[in-house]
Chain A
Amino acid sequence: MSRATESEDMHEISSESRTQAQFRQRVRTWCEEHIPPDWRAAQTGVSDQEFARFQKAWFAELHSAGYAVPHWPREWGGGMPIAEQIVLYQELAAHDAPRLVLAFVGIHHAASTLLVAGTDEQRRRHLPAILDGEIWVQGFSEPEAGSDLASLRTTARRAGDGYVVNGQKLWASGGMHADWCLLLARTDPDAPKRKGISYFLLDMATPGVEVRPIRNAVGDSHFCEIFLNDVQIPATNLVGAENSGWQVAQATLGAERGMTMLELAERLGNAGFCWLVRACPTDDPLVADRLAQFETEITGLRGLCRQLVESNDAGTAGAADASIVKLYYSELLQRMTDFGAEIGGVAAHTDLVKSASSGWESGSWVLDFIGSWEWTIPGGSSEIQRTIIAERGLGMPREPSVA
């Protein structure tokens, strides 16, 4: 493995500018000095409170170095050039840094929504607060609105200087830690389904909001149900125009897909692949062949992510590029963790907990494999992604509508 890493290193360095190389060195030094040693062991089997404490502390650490929100505009505390962001995430992955889990929705979805469609007042209220640790959750899916998100039923009824919300949200990841929620609710029940939805910022401390964790297949409970009973939202917390929530969500949902996928691909290529090599009897040619296949595919994925980031930045990304990356990552993750579980044998089944704050591959292969469905199902299932790739990418005919 050492040769593989070295030659990739040489490649990275030979093809990058002096400033990038200097920045890479700076990030490396920072990683060596700031990543808590043995954080994986320390974060295995911890309580929810300890997980949240660790996440917040790590976020603050990254923030003080200027590495927490490099993708934000400069005036809000970001402004790092794309080439340096790529280097940053490569190095965080190479040094096996903890992953930002709790802050994810806030720094990506909430921020991009506020930047694209929010009012100045909303930005001033929330962007600095996110940097201070405000946690966000996404309230989109419902029991009857999964892949067909636009059929959501939660209602927001205009009442005086605000709205009254009733309904139920599902799969709200990290809901029990959240201070605020990105909420989609129906404001016009008579309009066609995509034209009657509005986008709200909901304070989770509002009376009538109840959060219940749902235990998932792995045994974790980070997914939540959110029950909304006569919840009042002031009109100032509406994002964009009333009934334009679907458009706002479309414009901001995919905004984070480039760089966050690049980070995950880098993690898969660093720690993920190294653990797999370490777990494998590499003198078995059949096993070694599978490893080489995975290494090849990860290399392709890393290239795809890099291209997506660069073409997003240049405004030249194709309509299905983000879907290709999401689909390929999800299924590669699933195949790799499956292989890890197979190679690990019965012993791999004795890992009953994996370290919190880890990437989607932690080396606890059986749990990682079970957890990989958290990629192939949410965020637009693999089936939905294939339909998007065929229809928007290849221009194939749409399914005739039933209604």
Chain B
Amino acid sequence: MATEFEEFHAELRSVAGDLLAKDRSVEWPVLVDAGWTGLEVPDEFGGAGATFAETAVICEEIGRAASANSYLGSAVLAVGILKALQPNAIRDELLCGIASGTVRAAAAVGSLDFVADAEGADRLLVVTHDSDGTPVVVASAGLAVTPRPVVDETRRLASVSTDGIETTGALRFDGDPEAAVRRLHDRAAVAVACDSLGLSEAMLSATVSYAKVRHQFGRPIGSFQAVKHACADMSVKISVARQLVVAAVDAVAQDRPDVDVAAAMAKSYATGTAVDIVGKAMQLHGGIGYTWESGIHVYLKRAVLNRSLFGSPAEHRSQLTKRYV
């Protein structure tokens, strides 16, 4: 059983790696053609009926490529919200639209100031509260969206104004709405942790390759212990991050009761260490690593932004600490 999934994931990973390696920017139709936007959309709405475990594979590969695309807003967040809703014609139509590519949706999970991929989206899903204070979702096409450019040029964030938003006829969560919102946050955090894991691995691999070919003092710099021990530390951190991320992905995919703990650990550790790892990659590449052309800055900026998205490491750890009292 596990092997079957492993083979499927390996294939998905390899196809994604090839596709994402072509260009830094990947447009919406390419994501649609690859079948990624509908990966988690149920079969009856034209999707592949996969789980978050498969979405996580794509997130990791997107991080590995530091790819600029709208997968996070649409397939990760919007599809995540829609799947948490009660059956409803609007929900079904949106799921069909995202899978077929006719609708590019984005979703505000958490802050309305920094909504991923909101600019130019056909539909915006906003988690808000109805008049009773119950969390609901409003699917809107007419909200004011103001781009918020960030240092990391691979991500597009925007603020969304909910002035005059109408909650009558809003979409309702299936089951406990508060719990559903918490799980959306966990899902978003874990998706970003996957991204940071992928980009960390890319940077370790680039650094090891560079250290084998770059010669100074008549030998490859990778033969110096100062360099190889730094790479060993990167490798150890990645191994630990992978354990935490795999456990969190599993918890989200299976909707396990400990998902909040697993998500907090994965998000805090993987996104925190990714910054250390990319920073060390820039350091070990020396002067060339600091140039615009080397592209390492792209990874560093993305790693630093990932650390801030959907809760900082300290915020996630503070969730863990509530269990110590």
Please report A residues at the B interface, Cβ cutoff 8 Å: 1, 3-4, 7-8, 10-11, 14, 277, 280, 282-283, 285, 288-289, 291-293, 295-297, 299-301, 303-304, 307, 320, 324, 327-328, 383, 385-387, 389-391, 393-400
Contact = CB atoms under 8 A, between A and B. Distances in A.
B243 A304 contact: yes
B258 A303 contact: no
A282 B318 contact: no
A328 B323 CA distance: 25
A79 to B, nearest CB: 24
Contact of B229 (A280, A300, A324, A383): A383
Contacts of B229: 383, 386-387, 390
Given A1-B323, A391-B228, A398 B223 contact: yes
A8 B258 contact: yes
A196 to B, nearest CB: 27
A303 B208 contact: no
Contacts of B241: 300
B228 A303 contact: no
Nearest to A1: B324
24 contacts: A10-B258, A11-B258, A288-B321, A289-B321, A293-B268, A299-B243, A300-B243, A300-B244, A303-B247, A324-B239, A327-B236, A328-B240, A383-B225, A383-B229, A386-B228, A387-B229, A389-B236, A390-B222, A390-B228, A394-B228, A395-B208, A395-B212, A396-B231, A400-B223
Interface residues of B, number: 40
Chain A binding surface SS class? helix
Contact of A303 (B231, B246, B264, B320): B246
Nearest to A14: B256
A250 B149 CA distance: 56
B324 A288 contact: yes
B245 to A, nearest CB: 10
B79 interface: no
Nearest to A397: B223
Contact of A7 (B208, B220, B257): B257
Contacts of B268: 292-293, 296
A65 B212 CA distance: 53
Given A10-B258, A386-B229, A387-B229, A396 B240 contact: no
B233 A386 contact: yes
Given A296-B268, A304-B239, A394-B231, 12 more contacts: A289-B321, A291-B321, A296-B264, A297-B269, A299-B244, A300-B243, A303-B240, A383-B225, A386-B228, A387-B225, A395-B208, A399-B225
Interface string B308-325: 000000100110110111
A397 B257 contact: no
Nearest to A10: B257
B232 interface: yes
A307 B268 CA distance: 22
B256 A296 contact: no
Contacts of A300: 240-241, 243-244, 265, 269
B235 A304 contact: no
Contacts of A394: 204, 208, 228, 231-232, 235
B219 A397 contact: yes
A288 B232 contact: no
B261 interface: yes
A332 B220 CA distance: 31
Q: Which A-B residue pairs are the 5 nearest by beta carbons?
A: A303-B243, A390-B228, A292-B317, A300-B240, A288-B321
Nearest to A276: B324
Interface of B: 204, 208, 211-212, 219-220, 222-223, 225, 227-229, 231-233, 235-236, 239-241, 243-244, 246-247, 256-258, 261, 264-265, 268-269, 314, 317-318, 320-321, 323-325
Contacts of B228: 386-387, 390-391, 394, 396
Given A391-B228, A394-B208, A289 B317 contact: yes
A282 B323 CA distance: 10
Contacts of A285: 318, 321
A392 to B, nearest CB: 10
B225 A7 contact: no
A302 to B, nearest CB: 8
A292 B317 CA distance: 5
Contacts of A324: 235-236, 239
A362 to B, nearest CB: 21
A399 B217 CA distance: 13
B231 to A, nearest CB: 5
Nearest to B269: A296
A14 to B, nearest CB: 7
A14 B231 CA distance: 37
Contact of B211 (A328, A386, A387, A396): A396
Nearest to B251: A11
A200 to B, nearest CB: 34
B63 to A, nearest CB: 19
Nearest to B228: A390
B323 A396 contact: no
A395 B209 CA distance: 9
B249 to A, nearest CB: 12
A295 B317 CA distance: 9
Contacts of B247: 299, 303
Given A7-B261, A297-B240, A397 B321 contact: no
A396 B233 CA distance: 13
A3 B231 CA distance: 37
A296 B263 CA distance: 11
Most buried by B among A4, A303, A383: A303
Given A10-B257, A10-B258, A14-B256, A396 B223 contact: yes
